[in-house]
Structure 1
Amino acid sequence: MIDPIVFLAFLPAALALNLTPGADMMFCLAQGARGGARPALAASAGISVGTMVHVTAAGLGLGAVIAAAPWAFDAIRWAGVAYLLWLAWKTLHNPIGRADAVGVRPARAFRDGLVVNLTNLKVILFILAFVPQFVEPGHVVLPQFLVFGAVLAVGGFVINGLVGVFSGGLGRALARNPRAERALRLVSATVFGALAMRLLLEGKQT
């Protein structure tokens, strides 16, 4: 189905992309810092599932349709901006360690990671531009997209998860100090707010 040479060429390219700091990595870092290792891994899993949704849509041709419809892009962009700003506000007003603190529960961290990834226009455009370069038109397209997408998703889960786990250990240590805990919440909220502004500005450039 996929030429082994093409697949081997895809692996280092995918690894390099996964290692490049971006919105997903920063999101996992912030989730880990305020919630610990389990929410960080859950957020990374949600991001990977979102990647597979993007890849499946691209393989079915839906991604190209969305990319050609400015109103659809704008709707997705504004949804992502609003969600990230909401996360920033909740993070700022929920002390780390409280039972109802946003992002502490792994299920909620998974959902947040999924939503943030699905509303990231850069991921949609990247998959449409990058993955087709390795797809052989003479064979069934969707399975090839799924294989390449799985490589990106698994690599992203491992790398983003490790970043989140590391920040989680640091976050737990800082959370024992009230001043450090407030500073940690401010930093995490700032990360989410910055991601929202980045998404907004990227949308204006497309």
Structure 2
Amino acid sequence: MLVSWAAVLGVALVELGMALTPGPNMVHLAARSISQGTRAGLVALSGTAVGFVVYLAAAAFGLAALFAAVPAAFLVVKTAGAVYLGYLAWQMLRPGGRSAFDPAEVAPIRPARLFGMGLVTNLLNPKIALLYAAILPQFIDASKPVWSQFLVLGAVQIVVGVTVNGLVVVSAGRLAGFLRTRPLAMRVQRWVSGTVLAGFAVKLAVERQPAA
């Protein structure tokens, strides 16, 4: 078998955990869905999905190899990612912080721009960059065709990521309405999400470079 079920499950669980943790994609998609409707959210999600494919192509053609050739690059990406995730955690945990499901109002925009913003938001998302560049390679078996394994495991990540983000899009309005009428539930959601983000930032900060 080209890719073990353990690797498939591992990537699926990692992506599930990351997708459920509020970050740029969730915040952007939730804001668009709540302010402009589910259809707008789905258009933005299509841009997000294309961003996943771009990362998959880059990884399959040697993004992970960069870290083997330039070890300092891994340290830079890891540090930047940890700082960024820590910043997101602080934005949720600080006094007056906002939940992903209580975003500031955003002005309606055209479908083409919705798609472009979804794409750019995902391409600039450090969580996804780190997933493909530093985490996904840990599930690769060097004794088998690496390129093919990246395609399979990347496809698993995309399916899980798009599914979770799709659920965010279609449920954001209802969930936001539910939470806004229950301030305690909103605070609990914000604190739980912020704590998870902070934990992931710490974990990333102490992460060792994957073996070549």
For normalisation by structure 1, the TM-score amounts to 0.59
Once the two structures are superposed, residues 145-165 of structure 1 have per-residue CA deviations (whole angstroms, 9 ceiling, x without a partner) of 122122222222121122222
Q: 1:35, 1:57 → 2: CA distance?
A: 32
- CA RMSD across the alignment: 3.1
Counterpart for residue 146 of structure 2: 141
Q: 1:4, 1:93 → 2: CA distance?
A: 42
User: What secondary structure does 1:61 align onto?
Assistant: helix
Once the two structures are superposed, residues 144-189 of structure 1 have per-residue CA deviations (whole angstroms, 9 ceiling, x without a partner) of 1122122222222121122222234578x9xxxxxxxxxxxxxxxx
What is the number of equivalent residue pairs in this alignment? Answer: 147
Write 1 or 2 for the structure with the bigger share of helix.
Answer: 1
Identity %: 38
Are the aligned partners of 2:26 and 2:165 in contact in 1 as well (CA < 8 Å)?
yes
Give the unaligned 5+ runs of structure 1.
75-90, 95-100, 174-201
Are the aligned partners of 1:55 and 1:149 in contact in 2 as well (CA < 8 Å)?
yes
1:140–1:108 Cα change, 3 Å: same
1:120–1:16 Cα change, 3 Å: closer
Q: 2:14, 2:124 → 1: CA distance?
A: 24
Following superposition, the deviation at residue 132 of structure 1 comes to 0.5
- The ranges of structure 1 where at least 4 consecutive aligned residues each deviate by more than 6 angstroms after the TM superposition are none
Counterpart for residue 53 of structure 1: 54
Q: 2:106, 2:31 → 1: CA distance?
A: 15
The 5 A counterparts of 1:33-182 are 33-62=34-63, 65=66, 68=73, 94=107, 101-102=108-109, 105-168=110-173
Question: Partner amino acid for 2:45?
Answer: S
For normalisation by structure 2, the TM-score amounts to 0.58
Counterpart for residue 176 of structure 1: none
Following superposition, the deviation at residue 117 of structure 1 comes to 1.0
